[in-house]
Structure 1
């Protein structure tokens, strides 16, 4: 029986790389997306053209009815859920003194409420031997100016994950968070000039940005063979923090 993975934010960036990597690993993949149906469909096509199984489902991760329907679809069409990767997230950058509180609410709705909503459904449905993988950020350690709203939301993810791991005692389901450093995605690159990108690339001793595939490699391990890693935040940043 194939393992089945639900990947939120699976249409673009790190989520897309994770969906493709888990499919390469032999998992059937539900590509959950918010606002990019064409991008999600392209991920599904890339997986199915290589002989894998995948489908795209629209869902607002902060909407409990939409997330329940997402899991219903995974169970109905693919037979169940073994892995949940909660890669959906948004980022708004501004100095705290200038932060628009509506933006703060929007970030927290997706990044915190979304983690609770997806995690709650995952805790109810993931089969034995499964894995739940949330996304934090290395900014929680780097403490870069303008990142307060985003870092605060991701610090909450780091608090949630080990607690859920303990709440699932006896279920043989692991819960971990992955905390990427600066990674070459549209989300990261948007609004940054070349000098800023270059400076951030050199923050780690590898002197480069991470790639989505670098992050997906770690998720692949947590989603399959790494059964003795549980309740942890794994920093994937080339040694930046």
Structure 2
């Protein structure tokens, strides 16, 4: 989207967790392009965060190191955004980690780490963000199409994302009493560094040495390709805007017609 094409988020303040790379960076860019002031949370890649900041309007974005696995760091991110910009209107929770592993290989440590980031991290991001939101606040979490599809070795990750969809459904009733909406995006395969590293693992094990990733996508997706991060970000922008004022408790799948 060309900056200035839409002004849906003029005078709005947004926090984007996991905002330095991939879908999170695209979300931060999209919200800023539509007028938002943005606080970008990142866990470790300071260079990527600073590079993103350099592309956003001067004085209208900050980057704050925050590992969402630690709720105190998430609270500090949100507090800094409110202190810096005076309010909070949008939370886009994009931080997450991937995981593949067979049942026999799973460990309690892996379970704790995946759920700490993908599930607990998002829950407490909501808790801290909602405490600062007024009526009209918008919260958008991140699930995955994996929450509703069977993939070999993906049980732990899929479970962590399915829990997010349940949180969104149930929190909608509670937050709705305050005029705050909460929804989730469930992305399909997206052209990010995570897809580069793990994309082949989504194929059936017997097909991984037979079909290239492009061939596999061509027969399992209506559009036959990965999404661009900007295409997924458009969904976050919709749910964060007044255009989605009557939508809450729902998970929107953006998967290119995957089957």
Q: Same fold (TM over 0.5)?
A: yes
Cα deviation 1:43-68 (Å, max 9, x = unaligned): 111112xx571000111112222122
**Residue 239 in 1 paired to residue 257 in 2?**
yes
Counterpart Cα distance in 1 of 2:48 and 2:175: 34
Structure 2 length-normalised TM = 0.87
Q: CA deviation at 1:199?
A: 4.6
Aligned residue number for residue 15 of structure 2: 6
Confirm or deny: 8 A CA contact 1:62 1:117 kept in the other structure. Answer: no
1:46 partner SS: coil
RMSD of equivalent CA atoms: 1.7
Aligned residue number for residue 147 of structure 2: 140
Aligned residue number for residue 81 of structure 1: 88
1:168 partner SS: helix
Confirm or deny: 8 A CA contact 1:182 1:200 kept in the other structure. Answer: no
Counterpart Cα distance in 2 of 1:92 and 1:212: 20
Bigger CA radius of gyration? 2
**Residue 92 in 1 paired to residue 110 in 2?**
no
Q: How does 1:45-194 map to 2 (within 5 A)?
A: 45-48=54-57, 53-192=60-199
Confirm or deny: 8 A CA contact 2:148 2:162 kept in the other structure. Answer: no
**Residue 214 in 1 paired to residue 231 in 2?**
yes
Aligned counterpart for 1:201 among listed residues 211, 217, 220: 217
Aligned residue number for residue 42 of structure 1: 51
Q: CA deviation at 1:168?
A: 1.1
Counterpart Cα distance in 2 of 1:152 and 1:239: 22
The alpha-carbon distance between structure 1 residues 16 and 72, as it changes in their structure 2 partners (threshold 3 A), is: same
The alpha-carbon distance between structure 1 residues 157 and 192, as it changes in their structure 2 partners (threshold 3 A), is: closer
> Which contiguous aligned blocks of 4+ residues in structure 1 show a shift greater than 3 angstroms?
191-196
**Residue 228 in 1 paired to residue 246 in 2?**
yes
The alpha-carbon distance between structure 1 residues 218 and 52, as it changes in their structure 2 partners (threshold 3 A), is: farther
Q: CA deviation at 1:170?
A: 2.7
Paired residues in the alignment total: 239
Cα deviation 1:143-201 (Å, max 9, x = unaligned): 11121111000000000012111111332211001000111111122044594522552
Counterpart Cα distance in 2 of 1:43 and 1:90: 20
Cα deviation 1:103-141 (Å, max 9, x = unaligned): 222111101110111011122112221100000000122
Confirm or deny: 8 A CA contact 2:69 2:120 kept in the other structure. Answer: yes
